[in-house]
Amino acid sequence: MDSLLTAADNALRTLFATPRASTPTPAQGMAEPDLAPAQRRLAGALMRVNHVGEVCAQALYTAQAAVTRDPDLRAHLLEAAREETDHLAWTRQRLDALDSRPSLLNPLWFAGAFALGLVAAKVSDRASLGFVAETERQVAAHLASHLTRLPEQDLPSRAVVARMKEDEERHAVQARASGAMELPLAARSAMRAAAKVMTTTAHHI
């Protein structure tokens, strides 16, 4: 029951509250760039996609922490979720600075990621960690692509994305070190396909 209440509280905070970071944004102290309208729209769309990724990360980690019976793994998942909360806050700050908005479909993205997290965690802790490792690997690759697309003068957004990429890569390494299983090719391909749908949709909606 405590785990379910924690999950419900996390969902409400993620979707409806203003996220608060426990560490300063990597963009702290940087001046806002003078972007052309098209550049501002692009940066806003990319940061909206990244914000959706952090919404999904909250759902994923919360679901897995609620199911596992391993206290050490639960603590690891909740610590990762705390770091993802920082990312959530940083990306929301960039959206505000770019006069953009979060995805209107965030409740849908959260529900889908939460369901996937529950399924993976129900299989086994190793499968759950494998899902984390593969998710973070794909997210890091996605963030790397954003670094090639963000306007060069948008240094605040680039600083946030670069730091997020480092953190996601570390989460993947930690998951593998904790015993993550290698997911089957079919599962990895399905995850990439689902992520493509999500990122394409969130770019606009």
pLDDT at residue 2, as a whole number: 59
Q: How far is CA 38 from the centre of its chain?
A: 25
Helix axes 125-149, 71-97, angle to 10 degrees: 20
H helices of 68-101, in order, are: 71-97
**pLDDT tens profile 6-61:** 655 565 566 656 778 888 899 999 999 999 999 999 999 999 999 998 888 888 88
pLDDT at residue 175, as a whole number: 85
**pLDDT tens profile 106-145:** 888 888 888 888 887 788 888 888 888 888 888 899 999 9
- Domain 2-15+36-202, what fold? Ferritin (1.20.1260)
**pLDDT tens profile 161-175:** 999 999 989 888 988
Sequence spans of domains, the chain: 2-15+36-202
**pLDDT tens profile 72-102:** 888 878 777 788 889 999 999 999 999 999 9
CB atoms within 10 A of CB 158: 20
